[in-house]
Structure 1
């Protein structure tokens, strides 16, 4: 079984697209309304398209509106974003207080003995040597054999996270690990802003007072503060939850996920960091949701995602402060509201919504930037192909909607499979019957003790997440026969030498450096590269 490192995989891949050197873009002036990470990431990818500076790109950013910055973690796709733009880690990571991320640990979601915690790893080349053993042991345990099937034992990413090692091997050890990052979201937005300006994007720091439309409903321009009008051919709505263009102006309906995902608010606060720096996000079950802990170079980012149906903002803050030992401290807390769901059409008329204006799925798996990156990449591909007609728009929307639905199902599965009974919140999640048909089919297949791989490969269910993720989730939550129902394994079921596997992973991990040490070397590398450039 092959475990591929992740990539953005859509029907809009622009690989192999070759444009004539004098080709004219289908639209010439694109206006991105709203800055922040979503707006500047979109602008950068547009500026890096095959049309380059033949596109006029403007970012209209109101100085009156701040960025939300919820969540300071990413998936491995962000690595590809920077590599595609030719931006080195040594350039952006230090100025964004960024650290490496090998995966996510879930603590306390399950109460099943031996499965109270599990790690969701990012993929590695070494998984090709362990994935088969893991899947076969999972199915043996589903069939009632008493074999080890907890995912934590089978993946090097978990070992790296446990030992606070950076997922970047020594040059002599050619086995890559797909990794994400933790970062200060505000600083990342500022960095992307600077890079976009360097690459020809125009910044207009003005407040939008109204949106202009023609008789067909197409957006023609923006009336800015000071009675100035700015016209464009195409617009990207990055105005956050306010959804100024796609929602308020074009009236695109919003599909809420409230009956699937209960959480609609969060409270966040920082704490100091010292000692080893983790290479994992920690998600810990709380009374009415879950708490995150994210390591940056200068601090921990902490927060509590919860449902206002089950507790108040004050109760959530008190619970978080109590957990962190800050009940009597003056550490400031920031309260946030979340609109969980998506618009029916991310591309409506001559406008594409991106970021929170397009939709949001709670930050349990850090997918917010992934959706931004995917949407912007797809928009670039549409532009480069030169077809912005109805068929292209329909395919674009179908792809994004499918990604939202698939990601929602994966997140919902965490809650549906929980075994906590201590609060009404967790009991309601376990009893929730508002599941999509694909998710019902996937869970039924698992509980029937049948392989889910064929359904995952055919996209019958489990869309948007790879095989390893689904197996780690369901096995990690302990969705197996009860211990008293297990029997001794047959020789075939017990065929794998797990001691040898442990030895291989342990020795392999020795080829990855200490996380804090590697991060401390990054500024030195920046200085050396700058000096070499100066001497040259």
Structure 2
């Protein structure tokens, strides 16, 4: 088993470095082009690197270009980012209308009886006491025994989300839950900007007209609309889908994932939000994609991610409005186009792309900010090592390629395993044969009724996500023998006392506070021992 302390330590290693170094920085001036969450998070991590004020950081932000601003959910990695900077939740969360996130509920992705909805949990220390029962029952059901193997019953995070409880227990309950957040993306970018400028990051308002290359093909300087030039040693492209530096100036090829991720457009419609706040994102399958529901303290973020090859923008908006009960309401909708895939190189010459400029995998598992955080952390690590040579670039790009492809595989698995037949969209996803060898290995192993654990641990397939995530997905979608193939379990197959599991989950959840009440009075983080979990 791989314990989560290891994963947690890797996460902490990905935060901005502390301390200082006597070595001079390999570059003196880094220019981040583009603001928003990606630009300001990168600038903040650079400003808090081991070089401190000896590394000049400039953020060039165009007043003519807005931000996407609808990526409002995170993975648990964001928690470590703020903890690494010493920023308390009581400071940043109210400033960003943020709420806690225990995981994601998927509604309507499966039509298999008993599996029409499931919850993908974030890890908890308490899972150590229910994970074995869940995995054992999954294996028994795969083998044909009629035992309960739906993930929702086994994880405290699912109970917290359903009961509108915050995944933060009081200090006297020494069992941690590894949670994410929901937030207003625009406000988060503004908060990070204030933190970064307070640390000496230069904020320059201006619109880039052209990136001028030198004789070697590197970026020499930026020509601005007012006629001035902005020079730097190294550039970070945070210009969104436009990819003005890495794509347009440096002509880096883009690798599309359209052959197995069909969604390329989205619509966003906010609605008021009052009453209980469930600590979850909800993803509901619609006719040509899926709708998100993200609860903030002041509103609910709603949207529809869909395939423009399967329906028009007007059809998608009508479907979303019907889903929200807003067909006759005068509520504006915001339409967005998405470019799903990645740059062939995330680091090309003297430029690293961060955020949408480097690539994008549709927002199903809220990975966009995770890619920002990981890429910026890798950039800081490279700069602190002082090696910007070809080998360092190759290693950087290979790591990012693997991360993109591993994440893509996990997202594709959601679509491939759907059982809907009501539209061409869902049928096309289920019939999609453009699967990586790794994903084929996961699915073939599961369908052959063999445990995934050995293959995942050995790195033969399914990398990038822990075992519990794969089990929650495939079991939650009901990928088991049909009901008429199942047999009554033997005493050994039904060896786990599920009433005891229910009682444990119920009583554990009682230790966690009401979500909305906690958000009104967020306490300081308890600085206890390192999170110890088992993720298999």
What's the TM-score once normalised by structure 2's chain length? 0.95
What is the CA-CA distance between 1:450 and the residue it aligns to?
A: 1.0
Offset at 1:15? 9.3
Contact 1:30 1:234 in 2 (8 A): yes
Deviation at 1:212, TM superposition (A): 1.3
Residues 1:16 and 1:47: Cα distance change in structure 2 (over 3 Å): closer
2:157 — aligned with what? 157
Distance apart, 1:3 and its partner CA: 5.2
Which residue is equivalent to 2:215? 215
Q: 2:273 maps to which residue?
A: 273
Q: In the alignment, which residue of structure 2 is the partner of 1:326?
A: 326
Residues 3 and 124 in structure 1, CA contact (< 8 A), matched pair in contact too? no
Superimposed CA distance per residue, residues 252-311 of structure 1 (whole angstroms, 9 cap, x where no aligned partner): 000000001000000010111111011000000000000000000001000000000010
1:260 paired with 2:260, answer: yes
Contact 1:3 1:123 in 2 (8 A): no
CA distance in 1, matches of 2:204, 2:496: 61
Deviates more, 1:120-129 or 1:383-392: 383-392
Structure 2 residue 44 is the aligned partner of structure 1 residue 54: no
Question: CA–CA distance in 1 between the matches of 2:21 and 2:148?
Answer: 58
4+ runs deviating over 2 angstroms: 5-10, 12-22
Residues 445-486 of structure 1: per-residue CA shift (max 9 Å, x gap)? 111111111221122211111110000000000000001101
Residue 379 (structure 2) pairs with residue 384 (structure 1): no
Q: Per the alignment, in what secondary structure is the counterpart of residue 114 of structure 2?
A: coil
Tell me: CA distance 1:421–1:20, structure 2 relative to 1, closer, same or farther (3 Å). Answer: closer
| Residues 181-196 of structure 1 mapped to structure 2, 5 A cutoff | 181-196=181-196
In 2, are the aligned partners of 1:346 and 1:397 still within 8 Å (CA)? yes
Kindly indicate whether residue 357 of structure 2 is the aligned counterpart of residue 357 of structure 1: yes
The 5 A counterparts of 1:342-491 are 342-491=342-491
Q: CA deviation at 1:45?
A: 0.4
Q: 1:18 to 1:385 in 2, by over 3 A?
A: farther
CA contact (8 A) 1:442 1:462 kept: yes
Instruction: Say if 1:8 and 1:374, in contact at 8 Å, map to a contact too.
Output: no
Q: Give secondary structure in 2 for the equivalent of 1:428.
A: helix
In structure 1, the residue matched to 2:35 is 35
Quick one: structure 1 residues 18 and 503, their matched pair in 2 at CA, closer, same or farther if it must change by over 3 Å? closer
Which residue matches 1:532?
A: none
SS at match of 1:104: strand
CA contact (8 A) 1:2 1:128 kept: no
Report the secondary structure of 2:138's partner residue: helix
Q: Give distance in 1, aligned partners of 2:33 and 2:271.
A: 33
Structure 1 residue 425: deviation in Å?
0.5
Report the alpha carbon displacement of residue 22 of structure 1 after superposing the two structures with TM.
2.4
Give the match for residue 119 of structure 2: 119
Give me the whole-angstrom Cα distance separating, in 1, the residues matched to 2:242 and 2:16: 37
Offset, 1:369 = 0.1
In structure 2, do the counterparts of structure 1 residues 17 and 280 end up closer, same or farther at CA, with 3 Å as the change threshold? Answer: closer
* 1:533 alignment counterpart: none
| Separation in 1, partners of 2:30, 2:16 | 24
Tell me how far apart the structure 1 counterparts of residues 221 and 469 of structure 2 sit (CA, whole Å): 44
Q: Is the 8 A contact 1:263 1:306 kept in 2?
A: yes
Please say if residues 25 and 51 of structure 2, whose CA atoms lie closer than 8 Å, have aligned partners that are also in contact: yes
Cα 1:170–1:46, aligned 2, differ >3 Å: closer, same or farther? same
Displacement after TM superposition at 1:17 (Å): 8.2
Deviation at 1:70, TM superposition (A): 2.4
* C-alpha separation in 2, matches of 1:516 and 1:172: 20
Number of residue equivalences: 524
* SS of structure 2 residue aligned to 1:284: strand
Task: For residue 93 of structure 1, give the secondary structure of its aligned residue in structure 2.
Answer: helix
Aligned to 2:204: 204
Q: Is the 8 A contact 2:238 2:353 kept in 1?
A: yes
Look up the SS of the partner of 1:100 in the other structure: strand
Indicate conservation of the 8 Å contact 2:206/2:224, yes or no.
Answer: yes
Return closer, same or farther for 1:20/1:327 CA change in 2, 3 Å cut-off. Answer: closer
- In the TM superposition, what is the alpha-carbon distance from 1:21 to its structure 2 partner? 4.0
- Which stretch shifts more, 29-38 or 452-461? 452-461
Pairing of 1:264-303 with structure 2 (within 5 A): 264-303=264-303
1:518 matched to 2:512 = no
SS at match of 1:352: strand
Q: Against the structure 1 CA distance between its residues 78 and 505, is the aligned structure 2 distance closer, same or farther, given a 3 Å change threshold?
A: same
Partners of 2:90 and 2:439 lie apart in 1 by 41
CA distance in structure 2 between the aligned counterparts of 1:139 and 1:188, rounded to whole angstroms: 43
Q: Secondary structure at the match of 1:172?
A: coil
- Pairwise CA RMSD: 1.8
Q: How far off is 1:209 after superposition?
A: 0.8
Closer, same or farther in 2 for the Cα pair 1:280/1:171, shift >3 Å? same
Unaligned runs of 5+ in 2: 526-536
Contact persistence 1:149–1:475 (CA under 8 A): yes
Partner-residue secondary structure (3-state), 2:309: coil
